[in-house]
Amino acid sequence: MSELTPSAVKGGAHSPARHDSAAGHVTGRALFLDDVANAPGTLHAALVLSPHAHARIRRIDAGRALAAPGVAAVVTAEDVPGRNDIGPILKGEPALAAGVAEYVGHPVAAVAADTLERALAAAALVDVEYEPLPAILRLEEAIAAGALVSPAQVIERGEVAIALGYAPMRLAGDVRCGGQDHFYLEGQIALAVPGEDRDIAVTSSTQHPTEVQHGVARLLGLPLNAVTVEVRRMGGAFGGKESQATIVAGIAALLAWKTHRPVKLRLRRDDDMRATGKRHPFLIRYDVGFDEDGSLLGLDMTLVANAGNVADLSPAVLTRALCHADNCYYLPNVRLRGLACKTNTVSNTAFRGFGGPQGMFAIEAVVEAVARHLRVPTELVRRRNFYGIGRNDMTPYGMTVEDNIIERVVEELEGGVDLPRWRAEVETFNRTSAVIKKGLATMPVKFGISFNLPTLNQAGALVHVYTDGSVHLNHGGTEMGQGLFVKVAQVVAEAFQIDLEHVRVSATSTGKVPNTSATAASSGSDLNGMAALNAAEQIRGRMAQVAAAHFAVPATEIVFSDNRVFAGNKSLSFAELAELCWRRRVSLSATGYYRTPKINWDFKTNTGRPFYYFSYGAAACEVAIDTLTGELRVLRAELVQDCGRSLNPAIDKGQVEGAFVQGMGWLTTEELWWDEDGRLRTHGPSTYKIPGSRDVPRVFNTRLLADAPNREQTIFRSKAIGEPPLMLAIAVWLAIRDAVASLADHRLLPKLDAPATPERILAAVDDIQARFAALPAEAR
C-alpha cells in the first residue's frame, strides 16, 4: 500500500472547507426537487385526508372528482396492486387507510390532475362516508387501555426494590416533554416516473432511498431491481424524511403506475404537518433513592412514549431513549421501563436524537430533583454519579464506557466560563430584581453513536477516477444540508492527495449503491466516509503499482502529495498517472464497503454494545423570565462539543449551533396542540413557533474540544456531530426551572414541563409562589 502523507491539498480532511452547495443555497442555483422542470405530461397529486381521529371508512365515491377538469385518476387502498404496507419495522402500516382511518390527517385517497390547483380542488370532491369510532387521544387513556404499538421494553440491573427500600432518602415524581415538528424548509415531495417493462424511477426527498425503494416495490408488487430511487439534496429533514417520505413516494408511484404518466406529489405545509409524524412526546415517572451525598442508589423509571396510530420507528426510538436514560451517570440499581402507546394521532417518528433527548431529559429531571432536595448544586450531584474510568463504568445495558472524557469536557466548560462567578452574578441580579428573574444551568451529554440495530451499521460507496484526474464519488448517504457530501468528498481528496475541487459528488441512487441504510443516527460520515475511503484506497493502490513500474521503484516508495505522485525526486501529476493507468489497462473504478466493528445487541435481553463510541459535550446557559407574563429570553449559551478530530471544523461548528437552537425550540416554543377531537391546531408558521433569529442567545459561544481524537478507528479519528449537541439545549430548560426556583429561594422543585411556553412558565411561577407562601416561616 502506498504512503499517505499529511494533507498538503486544498480542502482535504480536517480543513474548514465550504459546504459544496453553500453558494447555490444562498443564490437559489441549488436545485431542489420542486425546482426541476416537469417533463411533458407530468401530473400533480393531492391527498384526501381523514377529518376524524378514528373512523370506519364506509364508502369512497370518487365520481365527482373524476369528472372534474384535468383529473386523470383517483386511487384508494383498493387500487394497490401489491401489498398496502410500508411499515419500516412492523407489518400492517398502510400507505392509504384501508377500512379504518386512525387519525385526523390520515391519507384516505389521492388524486392526480394536470395542475396542482385542479388536483387540490378534485380532492375536495371525493366523497367519503365515515362511521366515527371512539378515539384514544391522551397518553393516560392509552395507558389505562393498555394500548401499545409494540411490546413493553425493560432494561434492568441490580436489586432496585431493595436499594429503594434501604435508601436514606427517596423521591417520586413525573415530568413531561412534548413532541416537535420537523419543520423542514422543503416539505415532503416525490416524483414518480414510469418506465418500460414495469420499471419505475422515483426522485424523493428522503433520508432513506432504500426504504423508499422497498416501500414502492411492495406497493406495486415489483422486484427491487425494477425501482430506482434518487435524491440529490433535501431542504432539511431532521429524521422526518427517514420513514415518512415513503408514504409520499409510495402514493406518487401508485398514481404513476395507474396513469402511466409521471406524477409529482408535494404536500402543502398544513397538510404536511397534519399527515406526517413528529418527535415523540414522553411522560416520565420516576422513583429514586439516594443518600445525603447525592449518590443515586436506586432508580425505577418508566418512560411512556406517544407512538401515534402505528409503530413506525417507535420501538427503536424507545430503545434508544432507554439506552440514554443514564446519560453520564452510573446507576448501580436501576429499572428502566419503556411503553410505546397507541393513540389516534399521527404516527410519531424519527427526529434528531431519536429518543436520546427524551431519555436524557428524564434523568436530568431526576438529578435536579435530588439536588433541590439536598439543597446543593446540580453539578455536585452529577459529579457524585459520573461514570468512572476503570470503575463504575458499566451501563445498565451492559456496555463498558471505554472512552469516558466527560470530566474533561465539563472542566473545560466550567473553567472557561468561570461558573462560580457567573452564578454569583445571577444571584446578585435576582436579589435586586422583583419581576425579571434569571436562571443558570449546565448540561453534560454522553451520546451513543451507531444504529441500535447492528444490521444498519454498514455502507457502500462508488469511486471513479477519470483520465483527466477528476474524481466521481457516489455513496449511500444523503445530503440534507448537514454537509455530508463535502465531508465524504474531503475524505476522498485526502486519500488521493488532490484538491477538493477535483472531486464531484453525484446524487444518491439505489441504482449505484444498493442496500443502503438511512442517513441517520449521526452516522453518515462514519459509515459513508469509511466506505469511500475503502474504495479510494483500492484505486490508489492500483495507481501506486503503475507508478512504481513507471519509475522502476518499489510501490512502497510511491508518495501521493499535493496533486502529484512522487518517487523520490521524480513525479507525475495525478492526472498524468490516471492517464497512464488507463493506457496500461488498469481499472480506475472501485466499490467500497464498510461495516462498524465491535457492536452487538440482544433484543430479548436489551443488553450488548449498541454503540461504537460515545460523543461528549457540555453546555451552560443563562435565561431571564418575566414573572408577570411568562416571557422568556435566552441570554447566553456556552457550548463545548467533542468532535474527535473534526473532519471539517466549519461544518461541525454549524451543526453544533443549529442542533442547540433546534433543541431549544423543542424545549421552549414549539408546542404541538391537539383539540378534543384530535385535530392538530398548530399546523403552520402562524400557530407553530420555531426559534427565530431573535430567540438565539445574544452571547452564543461554541468551542470544539481540542486534541481529543476518537479512540476508536473511525474515519480519520473524527466523531459524529449531527445529533449530540441537540441535548445541550436541556440546559435552557433547566435554567428556566432555576429562574422559577429562585422565587422560593431554591428550596422547592418547580413544576414545569416542556416545552416551557410563557403559559407554562407563568403557571409554574404562580404555583411555586403559592407553595412557598404556604411553608412555615422557619422553613422559608
Q: Which of 275, 307, 332 is the last residue of a domain?
A: 275
What angle do the packed helices 378-385 and 406-417 form, to 10 degrees? 160
**Cα 258 to Cα 218: distance, rounded to the nearest angstrom:** 15
479 Cα distance to chain centroid = 13
d(CA 282, CA 279): 9
Q: How far is it, in rounded angstroms, from Cα 34 to Cα 273?
A: 18
For residue 453, tell me if it sits in a domain.
no
Cα–Cα distance measured from residue 25 to residue 689, given in angstroms and rounded to the nearest whole number: 24
Judge if 484 and 590 occupy the same domain.
Answer: yes
Number of domains in the chain: 4
Sheet holding 558-561, edge to edge: 3-4, 558-561, 564-567, 570-573
Please give the backbone phi and psi of residue 476, each rounded to the nearest 5 degrees, phi first. -85, -5
The CA–CA distances, whole Å, from 476 to 33, 208, 211, 506, 555 equal 19, 9, 12, 11, 32
Q: Based on the domain organization, do 346 and 488 belong to the same domain?
A: no
In a domain, 38, yes or no: no
> How much is the pLDDT for 6?
47
Same domain for 627 and 639: yes
How much is the pTM?
0.97
CA pair distance 622, 627, nearest whole angstrom: 16
Low-confidence ranges of the chain (pLDDT < 70): 1-8
Residues 187 and 304 in one domain: no
Domain boundaries, position 775:
404-445+611-780
For 483-516, the DSSP string reads SHHHHHHHHHHHHHT--GGGEEEPPEETTTS-SP
Residues 506 and 615 in one domain: no
Assigned domain for 703 exists: yes
Residues 732 and 641 in one domain: yes
Assess whether 723 carries a catalytic annotation: yes
Whether residue 669 sits in one domain with residue 584: no
Query: 332: closest CA among 299, 358, 307, 362?
Result: 299
Residue 259 lies in a domain: yes
Distances (CA, A) of 322 to 156, 253, 701: 10, 37, 31
- DSSP alpha helices (H): ranges in 634-729? 649-668
Residues 378 and 424 reside in one and the same domain:
no
- Residues 125 and 142 grouped into a single domain: no
pLDDT at 746: 93
Gyration radius of the chain over CA positions: 27
Residues 128 and 142 in one domain: no
| List 141, 723, 759, 778, catalytic entry | 723
Q: Is 4 within the bounds of a domain?
A: no
Residue 471 and residue 441 in one domain: no
- Residue in this structure with the C-alpha cell 429562574, named with its chain if needed: 739
Cα–Cα distance, 679 to 120 (Å, whole number): 20
Nearest Cα to 597, choosing from 714, 513, 514?
714
CATH number at residue 343: 3.30.365.10
Task: Label the pairing between strands 458-465 and 153-157.
Answer: unpaired
* SS3 category, 396: coil
Report how far residue 21's alpha carbon sits from residue 657's, in angstroms, rounded to the nearest whole number. 19
Q: What are phi and psi of 530, to 5 degrees?
A: -70, -40
Question: What's the confidence (pLDDT) of residue 8?
Answer: 67
- Alpha-carbon distance of 41 to 22, in angstroms, equals 33
Angle between helices 730-741 and 649-668 (to 10 degrees): 40
Q: Is residue 451 part of a domain?
A: no
DSSP E strands in 514-588: the ranges are 558-561, 564-567, 570-573
C-alpha span between 734 and 636 (Å, rounded): 14
The Cα-based distances of 642 to 112, 444, 693 in angstroms read: 49, 11, 26
**How far apart are the C-alpha atoms of 163 and 13, rounded to whole Å?**
50
Closest CA to 710 of 596, 611, 615: 615
Do 307 and 192 lie in a common domain? no
The verdict on residue 301 lying in a domain is: yes
Taking CA atoms, 118 is separated from 186, 192, 249, 600, in Å, by: 22, 19, 20, 52
Instruction: Choose one of 571, 595, 619: the last residue of a domain.
Output: 595
Residue 6 lies in a domain: no
Q: Which amino acid is at 129?
A: E
Which of 275, 301, 334 lies at the terminal end of a domain, its last residue?
275
How is residue 317 written as a grid cell? Answer: 426510538
